[in-house]
Structure 1
Amino acid sequence: MKKFWKITLGVLVVLVIGGGATAYHERHNVRRLLLVHQHYAKKNILSTNQIKLNLRPAVSTKNTTATNKLNAAYREDLRHVKPGITHAKVIVNPYKTSPLSGLILVKTAAATKVKLTVHGDTPKTTLTKHVAGYRTAHSIGVLGLYANRTNRVTLTFTQKNGHKSYATYTLKTGKAPHGIGKNTLKTSHPKKMALGKGNNWLTFAVSSQGTTYGLDARGQVRWYSTNPISHVFKRLANNHLLILTKISASEHKYNALRETDFYGRVYRQYNFEGQFPTRQDHSKLATNTVIHHDAIQLPNRNLLLTVDDGSSKYVEDTMIEIDYKTAKIVKVIDLKRILPKSAYTKYDGTHRADGKIDWFHQNSMVYDPQRDELIVSGRNQDMIFAINYKTTKLQWILAAPEKLPQRYQAYLLQPTTKHFRYSGGQHAVNIIHKRKNKGESIALEFYDNNVPVTRGKTKQSKKWSAGEIVSIDQLKYTVTKTWSFGKSLGQRNFTNIVGSSYAVGRHNTLIGFGYASNGKRSEFVEVNRKTNQIVFDVDRTHFKHGDWSYRAQRMALYPGSATVKLNEIKPAMK
């Protein structure tokens, strides 16, 4: 009888597994069928439901679980640390992807607050951070170590009665990766730079596809990630980082959008499959990078992403808003529904190896909460424009009028500056400030590559690239150029692709000439806008082809507390 039941149970298991496998393959085949036989709302424009089906972002908890395991181990370590500042446990690279970070676990007999000092080579490269709150058990995060040396880090412990004690710890780090290349300091005036409180603002070279790292005021590497990063490296409202990386090291494409921090802890991750029909044979699928250039956080915490929508014909002309907790797509903005039909059906400005048409090439966006407007930059239309975010209706267009149909001419901003030069192939659009009175005027910054693709060609085109600031009166539909820097640097700093220009501190701008010298060099230049004096200048060379610096950003290593909370990170909802 026992033998009979064993045989029966075995048969049932085989049937269940076989049936489950069959169902999986059927679902896979149905999904493949839906991907290759795409549903269009109108000619050339995919339906919203088809775009959602193509992209299907999903929450992954794999890396969050790994972070929680390390947090649990460090909680246990802290519990066993003996009281006394000489008994601290020091860990380098505690979360395995940030080699120039550390964690100091220490207990004090009396409740103390802590001041952290990471000793630099000069006073302006010495980083300090005050840790708020009095406690006896401390988990102090350390950021801004040098590569390939024994670093000195001092903690100052202050009791409520004012009594101070000090301890200096050593943290040994390994060599920085070759992918960073060679960074040569050309100019540095630290007293005139925007370095933030405690000198903990670094210049981050955001990779196009490779190693992202941060430099101090002397051009020394003080942070890098072992995660390969492509284009997206942003600060979120909760002071975490948002990066675009790979789902796994063996992947070729960058299809993981990760919420992390400078220590490497992972709080959320959204994975994208990226299986799209090929241009040559619509019945075949190929893996593509879904998010291509930018991602921002909206006031509701949701994420707005520039994406390939899965079309077999067009790329880089769609945005999706995904729910921050669930990754569900809650809004789709297809630029083919907003801009002229001729812009994408008659485009011949650039050509791709896969045959798909990159008619717009969206590379940045910024949300204006005061007017509920989204401002968008498209390289291959040489165009910056604004839409109402709720309705997606056009508000204004900043571009030369050529090749723009008559009914769109009414949206054009009219220059008030004599001999106004329109941007060409621009990047990194951003709002600096806006007036309080109804927000009718905004100051807009962007990087002008000065390489017109569709419109705006002049005798000055391709002679230089520049950081630009314009003032836009959104009621009068006028635009005034208020600042520009780059012409004096000439052809050497002309960049056919990539680049950025961001205001830093009160009066400076940091410009990233990412594709200088035909892509053999990236240069990071901080300039005072009042005097046009260069106060910081670094040349980056000897990096792998394709890993030029997409943007240069000045960011604080310690935007919040230096206390590393070792509590469990709640997994995101699926």
Structure 2
Amino acid sequence: MKHNLKAKLKKAVYGVYTYSSSLINTDDDPILSHNVYNGHTCETNITSTRMPFPIRDRRREKKMTDLLKKMEPGFQNAILIITPYLRVVLTAQLLLKTSKPSRVTYTIKGIRGSDDFTTGEKDFSTDHMIPIVGLFEDTKNTVIIHIEAENGEISNKKIRIKMPEVLQSYFDIRIKKNFEKPEIANEKDRFFMVSGGYRGATCIFDSHANTRGLLVRRPQYYGIFNLEKGHFLHSEHFYKRTTFSAPLSVIIQETDWMGRTHKTFFHEIGYHHYAAPLPDGNFVTLSNSFYDTCVENKVIKIDRNTGETLDSFSMNDAFDDTYKTRNDWCHINSIVPMDDPDELLLCMRNIHSICKINLKEKKLIWIMTNPKMFENTAQKDLVLTPEGDFDPWFFQQHSAEIIRDYPNADPDRLYITFYDNHDSARRPVDWYDKGGTAYGLIVSVDEKSRTFRLEKRFPTSYAITRSNTVYDSERGRYFTMDARLAEQTEELAADMREWDFETGELMREYTFNQDFFAIRPFEYDYEELARPLKKEKKYVLGDLFGATPCKRPDGLEKAAPLPQRPDTDMVRLYSDVVCVWGSDQELSEIIAVSDKESYHVDFNTVSENLRLTQPIKYLKEYGFYHLMPLKGIPEGHYDIYVVIKDKLYNTGCYVTLHDVKKCT
């Protein structure tokens, strides 16, 4: 490969030929003309087009593979590509060919108090595509590349990788270590992942509050959902569907911490709050029953190979009508698979309850709460009996998790940790004491005797919503992640507290100037990040709500041009989905009009007798892309119109669909 002058200068300064991600750019690749979606190809004048991320990232990977094949052996020919997959910064890819089978590892030298970080290959080969993760921001990172031959000889090469400030530049977020006990100051570093919040972001930081990875695309407010092997589900922040409450993301990406997107999932109703992997390779997540006006009340199981909904269970079918007094009457905010994968632990904020269900049998098994909550309901016999004094009770709790390595555990008990937000604003009850303090709680359940008891309580900062807890058995610590403080200042919106598990003594505290949804311990899975992206039959899985035939709108020739917004693509094409930017509830319809027929998506009509009405005024401030899939629309030329506040607008955009069978 012939290197340009800029790359040569960087080699002289940094010790390796260094390129930006533009070296493997795919922006000029054909997007729809060479990619068949749902039986047709498409011509369009929509200038903002989005190649599905799984396809884009496989093309970027192939370009790097092709570069590696052409390279000459020797470190003097190595190439470093900064942020190769665009989505995650503080990453790089090192391309290196060795003359003999070798194993390549690397060490990022610690700065600002942080330890050195070493990872890399386990196997020997001659072609090496090395994902470099965990770099520091706002510095020239010193990285030692270790090249080990099969005979044990090791050669070390020092390179420098310059990284800009990212966390504050992208999201105006500042993470500070506010307090630390002197006796733990020299403990080995660990990584944490913080995600979600109204103004928060998703990033990796270490024990010294140094940022070590950042997802530059902001997810939905619930943050990302961790799967196995470092994969996570990233719900798209700006592709949503209007509901009877907050709009839900209907596109979710399976991504890793190099920024590679493995699959894209569509869902007609959308996702919220939480998802968890299952032993069979699929995942469970949360959605809305929707068609009965209720939201945040449904569990769904998704096939990871097809995007199909394999099973679902609405809590409307598990409880009587006593508490169905609001759209989000139960408000599920976490879901955890139990030993039997059909059994799930749910945390329900708006009925102050943690419940166990069987998804396959559509059955509510037990409820953990104050028995007074259900004493006059059909579910009163499902409520577990408290052992001893449980005072104060928990209220509007979040993030119920199972502790599988509890110290000196009774094998007949189930240990659960969760965050007691200790607020009753969404469901006032007579036994609520007062706010001002939240708690990390550990409760154990004896399922045979159908009883439960309080094991530990950690008073913490008063966060009235979101938040989570973590038990660390290795170091004997307990964490309260106080995600959105009731009283905030410009520099303090949330905090993270680390406690000695036995004594309850505060050991360390971090502060955040922006809120978040949850923080969890994190480890990079190098082997998975280095594994080539898997070839799939389809990369865009599942289905959105479909367009349906409609009457040709009146007054097409008088339709006003769609108003534009600065710095916003008002119309996009994502895969084979037309996306139009608009405010929640105000943009009510997208219409595709041809000479012969018309198709539309009506976002405010749920069924023939049910219109979507939304009393929450602040939701009108939500701007996002409303979606009209082209799947199912016959071939032809279609002009795109929208209805906003009952007025028809012409977007000026068109799509021309061709039956793929006639194109071959």
Q: Does 2:443 align with 1:470?
A: yes
Secondary structure (helix, strand or coil) at the match of 1:342 reads coil
Tell me the alpha carbon deviations over residues 102-123 of structure 1, each in whole angstroms, 9 at most, x when there is no partner: 1111122222222221122157
Q: Does 2:206 align with 1:226?
A: no
- The residue number in structure 1 matching 2:485 is 516
- In the TM superposition, what is the alpha-carbon distance from 1:552 to its structure 2 partner? 1.0
Q: Does 2:503 align with 1:540?
A: no
Q: Is the 8 A contact 1:148 1:175 kept in 2?
A: yes
Secondary structure (helix, strand or coil) at the match of 1:121 reads coil
TM-score (normalised: structure 1): 0.77
- The residue number in structure 1 matching 2:291 is 311
- The residue number in structure 2 matching 1:408 is 379
Q: Does 2:470 align with 1:499?
A: no
Give the distance between the partners of 1:200 and 1:567, measured in 2 at CA.
30
Give the distance between the partners of 1:62 and 1:341, measured in 2 at CA.
43
Q: Is the 8 A contact 1:92 1:172 kept in 2?
A: no
Q: Does 2:414 align with 1:447?
A: no
TM-score (normalised: structure 2): 0.67
Instruction: Rate the CA distance shift 1:153–1:522 in 2: closer, same or farther, 3 A.
Output: same
- The residue number in structure 2 matching 1:422 is 393
Give the distance between the partners of 1:374 and 1:249, measured in 2 at CA.
27
Match 1:254 to one of 243, 249, 262: 249
Give the distance between the partners of 1:207 and 1:201, measured in 2 at CA.
20
Tell me the alpha carbon deviations over residues 344-378 of structure 1, each in whole angstroms, 9 at most, x when there is no partner: 1xx26xxxxxxxx2211110011112474211111
Match 1:525 to one of 480, 485, 497: 497
CA RMSD of aligned residues (A): 3.1
Give the distance between the partners of 1:249 and 1:161, measured in 2 at CA.
56
Secondary structure (helix, strand or coil) at the match of 2:517 reads strand
Secondary structure (helix, strand or coil) at the match of 2:457 reads strand
- The residue number in structure 2 matching 1:271 is 266
Q: Is the 8 A contact 1:209 1:229 kept in 2?
A: no
Q: Does 2:129 align with 1:139?
A: yes
Match 1:383 to one of 340, 343, 353: 353
Give the distance between the partners of 2:177 and 2:165, measured in 1 at CA.
19
Give the distance between the partners of 2:410 and 2:51, measured in 1 at CA.
43
Q: Map residues 99-178 of structure 1 onto 2, 5 A cutoff.
A: 99-121=89-111, 124-176=114-166, 177-178=169-170
- The residue number in structure 2 matching 1:67 is 57
- In the TM superposition, what is the alpha-carbon distance from 1:189 to its structure 2 partner? 6.0
Give the distance between the partners of 1:191 and 1:310, measured in 2 at CA.
53
Residue identity matched to 1:553: R
Give the distance between the partners of 2:252 and 2:488, measured in 1 at CA.
26
Query: % of aligned pairs identical?
Result: 20
Q: Please, which moves more after superposition, 264-273 or 501-510?
A: 501-510
Give the distance between the partners of 1:479 and 1:250, measured in 2 at CA.
40
Q: Map residues 12-411 of structure 1 onto 2, 5 A cutoff.
A: 62-121=52-111, 124-176=114-166, 177-188=169-180, 192=184, 199=189, 201-208=191-198, 211-230=201-220, 231-246=222-237, 254-274=249-269, 290-311=270-291, 313-344=293-324, 347=325, 357-370=327-340, 372-404=342-374, 405-411=376-382
Give the distance between the partners of 2:150 and 2:211, measured in 1 at CA.
37
Match 2:521 to one of 554, 561, 565: 554
Residue identity matched to 2:435: K
Give the distance between the partners of 2:192 and 2:539, measured in 1 at CA.
30
Residue identity matched to 1:182: R
Which protein has the bigger helix share? 1
Instruction: Rate the CA distance shift 1:242–1:556 in 2: closer, same or farther, 3 A.
Output: same
Tell me the alpha carbon deviations over residues 166-223 of structure 1, each in whole angstroms, 9 at most, x when there is no partner: 1122222223134242222112469859988xx4633424445652112111111111
Q: Is the 8 A contact 1:194 1:504 kept in 2?
A: no
Give the distance between the partners of 2:536 and 2:258, measured in 1 at CA.
14
Q: Is the 8 A contact 1:193 1:508 kept in 2?
A: no
Give the distance between the partners of 1:498 and 1:194, measured in 2 at CA.
31
- In the TM superposition, what is the alpha-carbon distance from 1:407 to its structure 2 partner? 3.8
Tell me the alpha carbon deviations over residues 31-81 of structure 1, each in whole angstroms, 9 at most, x when there is no partner: xxxxxxxxxxxxxxxxxxxxxxxxxxxxx9811110111011100121233
Secondary structure (helix, strand or coil) at the match of 2:273 reads strand
- In the TM superposition, what is the alpha-carbon distance from 1:504 to its structure 2 partner? 2.9
Residue identity matched to 1:565: P
Instruction: Rate the CA distance shift 1:450–1:248 in 2: closer, same or farther, 3 A.
Output: closer
Residue identity matched to 2:483: G
Aligned residue pairs: how many?
Answer: 480
Q: Is the 8 A contact 2:467 2:517 kept in 1?
A: yes
- The residue number in structure 1 matching 2:593 is none
Give the distance between the partners of 2:390 and 2:201, measured in 1 at CA.
41
Tell me the alpha carbon deviations over residues 461-495 of structure 1, each in whole angstroms, 9 at most, x when there is no partner: 31211111111100111111111212xx4xxx211
Give the distance between the partners of 1:171 and 1:537, measured in 2 at CA.
30
Secondary structure (helix, strand or coil) at the match of 2:76 reads helix
In the alignment, structure 2 segments of 5+ residues that lack a partner are: 1-38, 41-49, 542-664
In the alignment, structure 1 segments of 5+ residues that lack a partner are: 1-19, 22-59, 275-289, 349-356
Tell me the alpha carbon deviations over residues 408-446 of structure 1, each in whole angstroms, 9 at most, x when there is no partner: 222222222324432100000111127999974210011
Secondary structure (helix, strand or coil) at the match of 1:75 reads helix
- The residue number in structure 1 matching 2:26 is none
Secondary structure (helix, strand or coil) at the match of 2:379 reads helix
Q: Is the 8 A contact 1:399 1:456 kept in 2?
A: no
Residue identity matched to 1:563: A
Give the distance between the partners of 2:141 and 2:315, measured in 1 at CA.
50
Q: Please, which moves more after superposition, 254-263 or 414-423?
A: 414-423
- The residue number in structure 2 matching 1:47 is none
Give the distance between the partners of 2:537 and 2:184, measured in 1 at CA.
42
- In the TM superposition, what is the alpha-carbon distance from 1:561 to its structure 2 partner? 4.9
Q: Is the 8 A contact 2:266 2:540 kept in 1?
A: no
Give the distance between the partners of 1:371 and 1:96, measured in 2 at CA.
35
Q: Is the 8 A contact 2:420 2:438 kept in 1?
A: yes
Q: Is the 8 A contact 2:481 2:496 kept in 1?
A: yes
Q: Is the 8 A contact 1:94 1:101 kept in 2?
A: yes
- The residue number in structure 2 matching 1:482 is 455
Secondary structure (helix, strand or coil) at the match of 1:110 reads strand
